[in-house]
Structure 1
Amino acid sequence: MPIVRIAELEIDPDQLERYKTLLAEEIEASVTKEPGVLALYAVSLAGSPAQIRIVEIYTDQQAYEAHLRTPHFLAYKTQTAAMVRSLRLVETDPILLRAKGG
């Protein structure tokens, strides 16, 4: 069963555009370079652009742990550390995961 996590972040509004650029770069690198990263979806709450939610889907626990050690993820964490006001990781139990092929 895949690992699915939801990251709930609050970003400093004054740094939001820079954060979104770094997040986009990290997601692109992760999905492109890591076979164990099945999907990364980033959204903001309607009317609250600094409230970011990231849905992360990995093939298994080992893929998630490998992701945390990649140079692109470590660079993202370092570069965004001062931008993130809060971070909460939500563990989930997947019920059904399905997407259209593309």
Structure 2
Amino acid sequence: MSAKPIVRMAEIEIDPAQLEAYRALLSEEIEAAVALEDGVLSLSAVAIKDSPHKIRILEVYADRDAYEAHLLTPHFLKYKNGTVGMVTSLTLVDVEPIAMAAEA
């Protein structure tokens, strides 16, 4: 039996005055996670049109162990600690994938 992937949606609101700095830290974290962690299958961040301070991140991990390992990596901890005063709201939503595809 194969491990079940973990898919989450992060709904984040950022202090608009700190949006540029937040986006830089987020981009750095996503690039590092995908490059360095085999268990991180996909991380995609988008902003709500006309509300750029409202960020949504779709996270796909190979399994629960990969997700938990991700939370302990230096690049995630740098992001988490560096953005603590920037994030005004954070909701993590576990989601069930219906259809997911990506071009290789």
Same fold (TM over 0.5): yes
Corresponding residue pairs, total: 101
Distance 1:14 1:99 in 2: 34
Give the TM-score of the pair, scaled to structure 2: 0.94
Calculate the TM-score normalised by the size of structure 1.
Answer: 0.96
When the two chains are superposed, the root-mean-square deviation of aligned CA atoms in Å is: 0.7
Aligned identity (percent) is: 59
> Which residue of structure 2 aligns with residue 64 of structure 1?
67
**Does residue 97 of the first structure (1) align with residue 100 of the second (2)?**
yes
Secondary structure, counterpart of 1:49 in structure 2: strand
Q: Which SS does the other structure have where 1:82 is aligned?
A: coil
Aligned to 2:43: 40
CA distance in 1 between partners of 2:28 and 2:77 (Å): 12
> Alpha-carbon deviation of 1:95?
2.2
Residue equivalent to 1:13: 16
Q: How far 1:97 moved relative to its partner?
A: 1.9
- Give the unaligned 5+ runs of structure 1: none
Spell out structure 1 runs of 4+ moving beyond 2 A.
none
Deviations 1:61-98 (A, max 9, x none): 11000000101101110000000000000101122221
Gaps of 5+ in 2: none
